[in-house]
Amino acid sequence: MDFTEIFRQIIISAPAILVAIVFHELAHGWVAHKLGDNTAKYEGRLTLNPISHIDPFGTIIMPLMLLIFTSGQWIFGYAKPVPVNPYNFKNPRAGMALTALGGPVANLLVAIVCTIILKWLILPFMGVIPVFILNPLLLILKATIMINIVLAAFNLIPIPPLDGGRILMGVLPIKYSEFMERIEPYGSIIVILMIVTGLTKLFVLPLVKLFYTILSII
């Protein structure tokens, strides 16, 4: 991939990644706030300002490295985790599960909104919108849909500290939830090993296909 293509991919992917991670983290904080935990609010995380959510490595360096070393085939990123204090919830287990669920749901809602804009407001007027506006807009909308769907599916992998793991910890019987709590310190290593060995595809790809199927009927 030459410099021109890298720059083009950055222009297309950067807004999509920022939208995905900002809404994902904001949703965690918003749900926690609604359930009684104001930690995210006090730390200034209930905002759409991307600066409040950016993690230098996860938001900038890692996506750029993936863009370059995978020739744009795989771009992924993450933001600073929103702080949550489960002891502020009336039901800490349920509160954490719902807070975790908020992130993937927000990503799916963003994908739905972008799909509606694309299908109802852009495609019907392709002959009217100037090409120099239409083409970049189509690319950014499609990238935003794809990245939000992949981020939602990836985060639903049922291994803590991913959202899927925290959701599972909230619904499983206590003894199984406690077991997942014990493996959480090793969760990131487990997820990395799953990525390296390709095991994540077994979980993520079916979910991505399911989400695309849902979007196709909008």
Q: Catalytic residue positions?
A: 25
Cα separation of 141 and 170, whole Å? 34
Strands (E), 60-196: none
Token pair of 137 as six digits:
């807009």
**Neighbour-count burial for 69-79, b at 16+ CB within 10 Å, e otherwise:** eeebeebbbbb
Question: In this structure, is the dihedral angle defined by the CA atoms of residues 194, 196, 202 and 208, taken in order, positive or negative?
Answer: positive
Q: Token pair of 123, please?
A: 């495609």
User: Which tokens belong to 28?
Assistant: 């965690």
